[in-house]
Amino acid sequence: MLLEGVPVSLIKGCSIRSFLCDQLMIEADYVEKRITTVFLDGRVVDSLDEAILRDGSILALSAAMPGLVGATLRRNGFYSAMRASISQDNSLSVQTAVSSSRGIVLVKLFNLLVAELGPVLLRHAIPPSFSTERND
């Protein structure tokens, strides 16, 4: 379930950091040091403060991954230039960030974060009967 994604309510237009720290109540130090790889809608994120969540966004979170792939995908990592074409473009996010209505984000957890953040995520999950249906 956590690998496939859990629907969570969010305030649309907030940053990833704000969502994790202010809405899910995850410690800022944990977010900074432990969540090293972040994908938003299939694109790698370097700045948790600039990447903006919208209704229907898919947020994938991972702790450090091994090897060159892990080093390349790591937030603000040494090899991040090698993935410029798949990185989040925050210039568009900042322009459309103003909103205060609620939405739903699908949050996926990988590797060590499943055990560490799974309970937190499940506490904030929207029950299946209340989440919007997705056409797959």
pLDDT digits over 33-66, tens only?
999 889 899 888 888 998 999 999 999 999 887 6
pLDDT digits over 107-133, tens only?
999 999 999 999 999 999 998 765 555
Give the residue extent of every domain in the chain.
6-124
pLDDT for the residue numbered 53: 93
pLDDT band (50, 70, 90) for residue 135: very low
Prediction pTM value = 0.76
∠ CA 16-92-11, nearest 5°, is 35
**Cβ–Cβ contacts within 10 Å for residue 72, how many?**
18
5: its two tokens: 């994604």
**Mean pLDDT over residues 21-33, rounded?**
95
According to DSSP H, which parts of 35-84 are helical? 67-73
Examine the pLDDT at 71 and tell me if it is beyond 90.
Answer: no
> Which run of H or of E encompasses 109?
strand 102-110
pLDDT band (50, 70, 90) for residue 19: very high
Examine the pLDDT at 89 and tell me if it is beyond 80.
Answer: no
According to DSSP H, which parts of 57-134 are helical? 67-73, 90-95, 113-124
